[in-house]
Structure 1
Amino acid sequence: MDLLFAKALGDTAVVQTRACDDPRKGKGVFALVDLHDGEVVMRDSPLALLPSAELSEAAIEDARDVPPATIDTCTTCGAFTGTLTTQLKTLLDARAQSRPAAAPPAPKPKSGKKRKGSGTAAEDDSLPPPPVKGLDALALPESEWQPTRLRERMFVKKNGAFCCSTCATHPVATMRERAEGKWKAFVDAIGGVPRADRRCLLLGAKILAVALAGEPDAVNGVAHLCSRPVWDLAPSNADDADEYRKNVRKAVEASWPKLKAALTAAFGADVTKGNGRNGRNGVPCTLETYARLCGATQMNALAVKVPHPLMKYVVSTVAAEGALTEHVQWLVREKAERVARKALEEEKVLGGLMDIDDIDLDSDSDDDETRDANGDERYSFRWGTEQDEGFDFDTTVFPAYKGSAIFPLASSLNHSCDPNCEVAYVDDSRVHILAKRTIARDEECTIAYVDPDLDGEERREELKETYGFDCECDVCIREGFVPHLKRRKVLPPKESGGGLIWGKLDAELKARFKAEKQAAEKAAKKGARGPKQAPAKKTAAETKKTPAK
């Protein structure tokens, strides 16, 4: 078993990492025991987290154009903070501030009736959101999966709001606080690169900060993911492979001096000077390290999506209809306005009446109906009675927390368009990997990097654009997307565990692990009676007959 998994999961492990039969895939995660539908395969916390809002803001030149936040979350871990009431107020205020002075008329409610006590449709559309008062009793029901209350905002600083001291002192938070101006210069330097590449560069920079200043376990957690520089990851059969390599290498090399300046300001020159192994973790602060970490994010980052607590409240609490009818009704109409406004802008572009540059194509917000329909968990409701006015809505009016993250364990899971595992987030960015069906012992555990319900061409295009590879799973082969003569020519084989950067670290870790194992065996033999040898230590599969819940 991989040393990282052995240390993190111990004797309770129901999975292990090992080399895949296909050398291009590198390592994979395999079941140690039979797993059944709904059972937990693993849990993991991210090394670094990149909110989608932060990714979009990096492309906005004027800070005054940054839209207000629709959710209150911890800057480091993504946990929702405050109360249901404060979350509702934040959402309503943000939506109200983002409305243009003259919004297009929203479609009429599906009921076709005029709302009780209201004026004309135009007058209703221009009304401010209803006040949030008398709702302090709103609370989520207690369950195994959901805490009874949201987390408190323990620390509010210039660089963000945090739910605990651990999050407030995270290496990324420390860097952004101590090197605010230099970090902003780095972000500005990559603001113009394509969104997928910008995501790799931002996450790679954050992981480097964690590796330089975090705990040694954090370094071990990312070492096994680093194989090649990001510019070596373009599919070799892609028409634009050479152009991609040239552009992404230029972006990495141009942004590196600004990132190094931010790291130096945050952690000191002794951590970042020279090309040797500096700092308490012995990580080289070099362009090569940065490029390899960007490559790790390209190949291993997972999408994070934490449901809004108000969505959970509406789904689980019957009393929600009486408490939130006015607020939800206003949100439904405001969302219809946004959809109509976006459709009108696209129509003007097609008609030559508007420049395409005037449309926010970089947005990852929840008003992107196509993105929501493909990815968000949603529940549909009809509130109201025949006597009163009823209206239809779904829970996507409550925006989820979205982002990307690198996980030390879960990022080792490979992709399949027909996965046997699924990814779940409960109340923050900690990931739960659950079995979707029975998984036999020694079978590889896989997840879907993109929505598996997408059309085959859309699915493959998103995988190539976001993760840089052409999928060759059984589904893609069955659908005729992978000609047999070309199946093995998509990506060069991955280099084994970390290459030049992490070789010494891996050797030291293996030596320490071997010494500890030999010491334990020696102690066991010494305590044995007579010439009889001490029994061999049982494996996780032998000691654990049923998988951990």
Structure 2
Amino acid sequence: MPSDPQAAQAFKVKLQKETETSRRLALKALGGLTDVPVGLKSFLEPMGYAKLLGALCCNCTVVAYVSPVLQHILQVDGMQECPAKTSAVRALEPWIRALKPPETNISDDEAAGEDEERTISWIVDAGAEPLNFSTSLIPPFRGYAIFPRMALMNHSCRPSCGIEFDFSGRIFVLQQPYDHIKPGVELTISYLDSSLNAEEDHKAMGTTQRRNQLLPYGFNCDCGLLCKRFGSIQAPRTHANPSRRISDRKHIVRAWDYQP
């Protein structure tokens, strides 16, 4: 959401128009509201459809996957100096020299967590101009994925688990070092800023910021971190979904395939 009030209002209007366009297309594809089962009609009303889209947005995450071409170039760079490496670099040379910086228009959230730019320089022939390459010339593939099993985990301002992703297309739920997960204890994650991976960082977040980040999920957390400012410390509670429990203390609890 833009920080400027006028830009934020314009964004809301645009979002409402696009939501209504999407709803009408969905109705057209289904043959009209009269042909929709009674139990689904509320989801195709303007308000119900907007809430449905909002729920999907809350449970999806940006996915960036490194290009196989970039992986190949990095593998070539990692080879020991030998005729085979020289031959591979020469084969890449005309293609690399023709590369132009990509025109990117990504948000701060999408750019967060990406690998830092790396510059590589090769000497193809003695006395020739070095072949320079930057990893930023080949941006990662981007998309959005819904992690249905992760969406079943409740929120806690004192989460017992953290979320990590890897390039093999799997999601890992890891035990955080500041908490020991005992048998029968519910697995919880924080719906707040994913860059806050330590309990101290979560505590440092202000009450207003914390409430604003949880607002799109449709509930207000009433744990001590949110209520202490008002003099009413309550036991931490989790929200949103049925609980999931574990029966062991493995550091890596489980690896889950995602369904994009």
What range describes the TM-score normalised by the shorter chain of this pair? 0.5 to 0.7
Show the counterpart of 2:35. Answer: 273
The structure where strand makes up a greater share of residues is 2
Contact 2:89–2:124 (CA under 8 A) maintained in structure 1:
no
Map 1:219-368 → 2, pairs under 5 A: 243=9, 248-264=15-31, 273-274=35-36, 276-277=38-39, 285-317=44-76, 318=79, 319=84, 322-328=87-93, 330-336=95-101, 363-364=105-106
Show the counterpart of 1:397. Answer: 137
Label 1:303 to 1:309 Cα distance change in 2 as closer, same or farther (>3 A): same
Highest relative contact order (Cα 8 Å, sep 6+), 1 or 2? 1
Task: Kindly report the root-mean-square deviation, in angstroms, between the aligned alpha carbons of the 2 structures.
Answer: 5.1
Equivalent of residue 114 in structure 2, options 376, 400, 404: 376
Equivalent of residue 440 in structure 1, options 157, 180, 192: 180
Contact 1:381–1:394 (CA under 8 A) maintained in structure 2:
yes
Per-residue displacement from partner, 1:396-450 (whole Å, max 9, x unpaired)? Answer: 333321011222023456699xx94322232xxx432253863521574458867
Q: Distance in 2 between matches of 1:489 and 1:372?
A: 22
Instruction: Please tell me the residue identity of whatever aligns with 2:166.
Output: A
Post-superposition shift, 1:547?
A: 4.3
Per-residue displacement from partner, 1:100-146 (whole Å, max 9, x unpaired)? Answer: xxxxxxxxxxxxxxxxxxxxxxxxxxxxxxxxxxxxxxxxxxxxxxx
Contact 2:59–2:151 (CA under 8 A) maintained in structure 1:
yes
**Which structure would you say has the larger Rg?**
1
Label 1:476 to 1:547 Cα distance change in 2 as closer, same or farther (>3 A): closer
- Where 1:421 maps in the other structure, the secondary structure is strand
Instruction: Please tell me the residue identity of whatever aligns with 1:259.
Output: A
Post-superposition shift, 1:295?
A: 0.7
Q: Percent identity?
A: 17
Equivalent of residue 422 in structure 1, options 160, 164, 168: 164
Label 1:256 to 1:335 Cα distance change in 2 as closer, same or farther (>3 A): same
* Gapped regions of structure 2 (runs ≥ 5): 222-238, 256-260
Label 1:254 to 1:285 Cα distance change in 2 as closer, same or farther (>3 A): closer
Q: Distance in 2 between matches of 1:397 and 1:545?
A: 37
Instruction: Please tell me the residue identity of whatever aligns with 2:115.
Output: E
- Where 1:440 maps in the other structure, the secondary structure is coil
Q: Distance in 1 between matches of 2:59 and 2:48?
A: 16
Q: Distance in 2 between matches of 1:445 and 1:423?
A: 14
Post-superposition shift, 1:293?
A: 2.1
* Gapped regions of structure 1 (runs ≥ 5): 1-195, 198-234, 343-361, 453-472, 499-505, 507-538
Q: TM-score, normalised by structure 1?
A: 0.30
Label 1:374 to 1:544 Cα distance change in 2 as closer, same or farther (>3 A): closer
- Where 2:38 maps in the other structure, the secondary structure is coil
Q: Distance in 2 between matches of 1:410 and 1:306?
A: 19
- Where 1:259 maps in the other structure, the secondary structure is helix
Instruction: Please tell me the residue identity of whatever aligns with 1:425.
Output: F
- Where 1:335 maps in the other structure, the secondary structure is coil
Q: Distance in 1 between matches of 2:142 and 2:171?
A: 16
Post-superposition shift, 1:254?
A: 4.3
Show the counterpart of 1:123. Answer: none
Instruction: Please tell me the residue identity of whatever aligns with 1:376.
Output: E
Q: Distance in 1 between matches of 2:113 and 2:252?
A: 33
Label 1:371 to 1:408 Cα distance change in 2 as closer, same or farther (>3 A): closer
Contact 1:382–1:390 (CA under 8 A) maintained in structure 2:
yes
Per-residue displacement from partner, 1:3-58 (whole Å, max 9, x unpaired)? Answer: xxxxxxxxxxxxxxxxxxxxxxxxxxxxxxxxxxxxxxxxxxxxxxxxxxxxxxxx
Q: Distance in 1 between matches of 2:88 and 2:188?
A: 47
Per-residue displacement from partner, 1:523-547 (whole Å, max 9, x unpaired)? Answer: xxxxxxxxxxxxxxxx841597984
Q: Distance in 1 between matches of 2:65 and 2:46?
A: 33
Q: Distance in 1 between matches of 2:17 and 2:203?
A: 35
Q: Distance in 2 between matches of 1:328 and 1:451?
A: 38
Label 1:372 to 1:298 Cα distance change in 2 as closer, same or farther (>3 A): closer
